[in-house]
Amino acid sequence: MKENMLDKLKTEIKSLQNSVLKLKEHFPIKKSGFTLDGRLVGDIGEIVAQELFQIKLYEKVVKYYDAETTYEPNLKIQIKATFKESLTYNHEPDYYIGIKLFEDGSFKVIYNGPGKYIYQNYQHRKGIGEQLLLFPIKKLEEISSRINDNERILIKDDFE
C-alpha cells in the first residue's frame, strides 16, 4: 500500500516538474524561476502582473522589487501573489501589486498602488516595515479601493 502511494507521489512530482519546464519555456524572463521550493506562486504572480500591467520584470533579483514601469517615471514595484486569504508585506515599497490566484487558473488584483498606504493603515502593527507580515486580502482591497487612479500602475491597453 505505502509503495503504491509513493509511486503516485512520484508521478505527481514528475507532472509538476514538467509543468515547471513548460512555464520556463513560455516565460523565459523567469529562467531561474518557477521552482517548487516556495517561489512558484510568486513567479506566477509576477507573470500575471507583467501580462496585465505596463511593467517589465527584472531579469535578476533586486532586493524588495520585482519590476518597474515601462513608462516614465520608472516606478519600482514589489509584486506579491497568493492562493490564500492574505498577502505578505515586509517593507514600504514604492509601489505594490497584490494578486489573488485561484485554483481554476483565474486571478484577481487585490492591490495596485503606492506601498505607503498599506504602511499608513498598519503603522501601529509591531514589525511593520521591518519583517515579513501577513495582511488580510479584504483589508488590502479596502485600502486599494481608496487609491486614486492616477496613483495606480497603468494597465496594458488591451486589458482596459
Tell me if 132 is assigned to some domain.
yes
In this structure, are residues 140 and 110 in contact, taking their beta carbons and an 8 Å threshold? yes
Tell me if 50 is assigned to some domain.
yes
> For 18-63, what is each residue's pLDDT tens digit?
898 899 899 988 877 887 777 889 999 999 999 999 999 999 889 9
Q: Is the pLDDT of residue 115 over 90?
A: yes
In this structure, are residues 4 and 10 in contact, taking their beta carbons and an 8 Å threshold? no
Q: pLDDT band at residue 128, thresholds of 50, 70 and 90?
A: confident
> For 56-108, what is each residue's pLDDT tens digit?
999 988 999 999 999 999 999 999 999 999 999 888 999 999 999 998 889 99
Tell me if 6 is assigned to some domain.
no
Question: What's the CA gap between 57 and 54, in Å, rounded?
Answer: 10
DSSP state of 80: E
Which domain CATH number covers 147? 3.40.1350
| Number of domains present in the structure of the chain | 1
Phi-psi region at 115: left, alpha or beta (left = phi > 0; alpha = psi -120 to 50): alpha
Tell me if 96 is assigned to some domain.
yes
Q: Which residue segment(s) compose the domain that 95 sits in?
A: 39-154
Instruction: Please give the backbone phi and psi of residue 146, each rounded to the nearest 5 degrees, phi first.
Output: -95, 0
